[in-house]
Amino acid sequence: MTNEKVLCEVTENHLNTGLRGIPVGTCRTSFVTPSEGVHYCGYPIRELVDFSPEDIIYLLFNKELPNLEQSAQFKADLSSRATLPNGVEEVLKTLPKTGHPMDWLSIGIHALGMCDTTENWLDDALNLVARMPRLMGLIFRYREGRTSDIPVDDVSKSLVERFVETLDLANVDKAKMSKVVSTYLVLHMDHGGGNLSTFTGKSIASGKATVYSAIAGAMNALSGPLHGRANQSCLEFVLKVGSSDEAEVERFVRNELSEGRPVFGFGHAVLSVEDPRATAQFELGEKICPEDENFKIIKTLRKVAPRVLSENKKIRNPNANVDIASGALLHHVGLKDPTYYTTFFGWARVAGIGAQIVDERVNMRSGKGVPIYRPKYFPEGQQLRHIE
Ligand code: HAX
């Protein structure tokens, strides 16, 4: 007998449930609580909303917020890593414009790795973080055929400015776009260790594939409609609502439910209150676009939907989740096409997943790392015999 604490009794009923609730490991970057949502390295997300993405990336990799000097040094370090290797744009030129942006993102990350891998976990993770803004901007431009006069990548600028400058959309307020994208990135960088994309990325890396292969795989996991693509569906849903009138919105919500469709932007598997990431985005919207029609619709939804959803006692949390507001804000600043929204989610998660991969490869188990993932499966129909 050992003194080890039993964390979970695994029974036959746990089989074929997607590892739901089965303890797998520990996570050094983030955890989620029902009342305060995600915490990065112990800080509840509401305390981190106004930090720069670079400072939050530093936090996830170093487990402490940087002081001013560390912050400046880290920004300079990212700048020194930022230039894309030759060959990546050649790959983007060949991709079908009808392909989903998430497939472009996955292939783009793979291409970055094929053109330059260092074989050092931390360097590869930080190089990828530093190269993401340019890759993201180029994905928009090549997919939309806007390939002439692409501005040079000024690597001395912030991550978000480099994306906004590469994208270089006409008739947009670039400062406003930068604020919305910065906030989006900070809010979406990490969400515990067991969400599908993070788990996928760490599993791939456990076989000692590269950071690039692991994160490209994580992006493929994120692209599914039950995972990251929910944020695309949320804006599509808001556009379908079409009116901010309370009675109209209530009619729409009730009709969606009676047709058996989800009310997007509401509900959560862990939280029991409104997601603080939704609250933060509503606060930002009040500052930058209170009169925007989509913003008015989501404000009405925020009032109406929890009341209607509460009538169904099965729904554990009828309140707004992170996806309710991000689409309306991105749309307002000129990022109008919802098919791209999951790529922002993916861009943000590169930091969290990258930091967790580095932890599992070089920090966990006193530096030995977590071994190759190998959960147990039983032959169908013979579970009990094998358990006994
Ligand atoms: N609209 C309609 N039905 C809902 C609902 C919603 N917003 N939220 C929950 N339900 C239903 C569930 O589908 C489930 O029905 P069944 O028992 O028939 O399967 C029942 O209510 C109980 O669900 P739950 O226990 O409260 O919540 P789950 O953990 O099963 O699901 C979801 C959590 C987020 C998937 C769910 O609330 C949902 O589908 N929401 C709408 C889609 C959406 O906004 N997705 C974005 C999620 C954001 C996120 O988590 N990001 O990380």
- 284, 310, 332 — which closes off a domain? 332
Q: Are residues 53 and 158 in the same domain?
A: yes
341 lines ligand 1 (CB under 6 A): no
User: Closest ligand 1 atom to the C-alpha of 195?
Assistant: 52
Show Cβ contacts of residue 386 under 8 Å, excluding neighbours closer than 6 positions.
378, 379
The answer to which of 42-46, 70-74, 233-237, 258-262 has the lowest mean pLDDT is 233-237
If one counts every other C-beta atom within 10 angstroms of the C-beta of residue 278, the result is 25
Residue 59, token pair as written in the block: 């936090």
Q: What is the pLDDT of residues 17-33, one digit of tens each?
A: 999 889 999 999 999 99
Range of the domain at 62: 30-228+338-363
Q: Are residues 325 and 346 in the same domain?
A: no
Does the structure show a pLDDT above 90 at 231? no
CA nearest 350: which of 106, 35, 17? Answer: 106
pLDDT average, residue stretch 28-53: 97
pLDDT given for residue 388 in this prediction:
47
In-domain check, residue 10? no
175 lines ligand 1 (CB under 6 A): no
In-domain check, residue 233? no
Residue ID of nearest Cα to ligand 1 atom 8: 267
Does the structure show a pLDDT above 80 at 384? no
Does the structure show a pLDDT above 70 at 383? no
Q: Are residues 123 and 219 in the same domain?
A: yes
Q: Give the domain CATH number at 275.
A: 1.10.230.10
Please give the model's pTM, rounded to 2 decimal places: 0.95
Give yes or no: 227 in active site. Answer: yes
268 lines ligand 1 (CB under 6 A): yes
Does the structure show a pLDDT above 70 at 386? no
Q: Are residues 44 and 171 in the same domain?
A: yes
pLDDT range class, residue 387, cuts 50, 70, 90:
low
- 313, 332, 351 — which closes off a domain? 332
pLDDT given for residue 381 in this prediction:
78
In-domain check, residue 50? yes
Q: Are residues 50 and 101 in the same domain?
A: yes
Residue ID of nearest Cα to ligand 1 atom 27: 269
User: Closest ligand 1 atom to the C-alpha of 315?
Assistant: 26
Q: Are residues 343 and 287 in the same domain?
A: no
Ligand 1 centre to CA of 43 (Å) is: 26
Residue 355, token pair as written in the block: 């930091």
In-domain check, residue 380? no
Q: What is the pLDDT of residues 7-21, one digit of tens each?
A: 999 999 999 999 988
Q: Give the domain CATH number at 356.
A: 1.10.580.10
Q: Are residues 141 and 274 in the same domain?
A: no
In-domain check, residue 378? no
269 lines ligand 1 (CB under 6 A): yes
Q: Are residues 174 and 147 in the same domain?
A: yes
DSSP β-bridge partners for residue 16: none
The percent of residues in the chain predicted with pLDDT above 70, rounded, is 98
pLDDT average, residue stretch 64-77: 98
Helix axes 196-206, 341-358, angle to 10 degrees: 40
- 293, 310, 332 — which closes off a domain? 332
Arithmetic mean of pLDDT over the chain = 96
Q: What is the pLDDT of residues 283-302, one digit of tens each?
A: 999 999 999 999 999 999 99
In-domain check, residue 284? yes
pLDDT average, residue stretch 38-66: 98
In-domain check, residue 357? yes
Ligand 1 centre to CA of 373 (Å) is: 29
In-domain check, residue 277? yes
Ligand 1 centre to CA of 204 (Å) is: 28
Q: Are residues 38 and 132 in the same domain?
A: yes
Does the structure show a pLDDT above 70 at 1? no
Instruction: Return the exposure string of 112-140: e unless at least 16 CB atoms fall within 10 Å of the residue's CB, then b.
Output: bbeebbeeebbebbbbbbbbbbbbbbbbb
User: Closest ligand 1 atom to the C-alpha of 191?
Assistant: 52
What is the tally of structural domains in the chain? 2
Q: What is the pLDDT of residues 234-271, one digit of tens each?
A: 999 999 999 999 999 999 999 999 999 999 999 998 89
Q: Which residue has the tokens 């032959």?
A: 379
Does the structure show a pLDDT above 70 at 139? yes
Give yes or no: 268 in active site. Answer: yes
pLDDT given for residue 270 in this prediction:
87
| Cα–Cα distance, 211 to 350 (Å, whole number) | 10
Give yes or no: 110 in active site. Answer: no
359 lines ligand 1 (CB under 6 A): no
Does the structure show a pLDDT above 80 at 167? yes
pLDDT average, residue stretch 342-363: 98
pLDDT range class, residue 363, cuts 50, 70, 90:
very high
pLDDT average, residue stretch 61-80: 98
Q: What is the pLDDT of residues 144-164, one digit of tens each?
A: 999 999 999 999 999 999 999
Q: Are residues 38 and 114 in the same domain?
A: yes
| Cα–Cα distance, 62 to 64 (Å, whole number) | 6
Q: Are residues 75 and 134 in the same domain?
A: yes
Residue 274, token pair as written in the block: 């409104």
Q: Are residues 124 and 186 in the same domain?
A: yes
DSSP calls for 81-118? H-SPPTTHHHHHHHS-TTS-HHHHHHHHHHHHHHH---
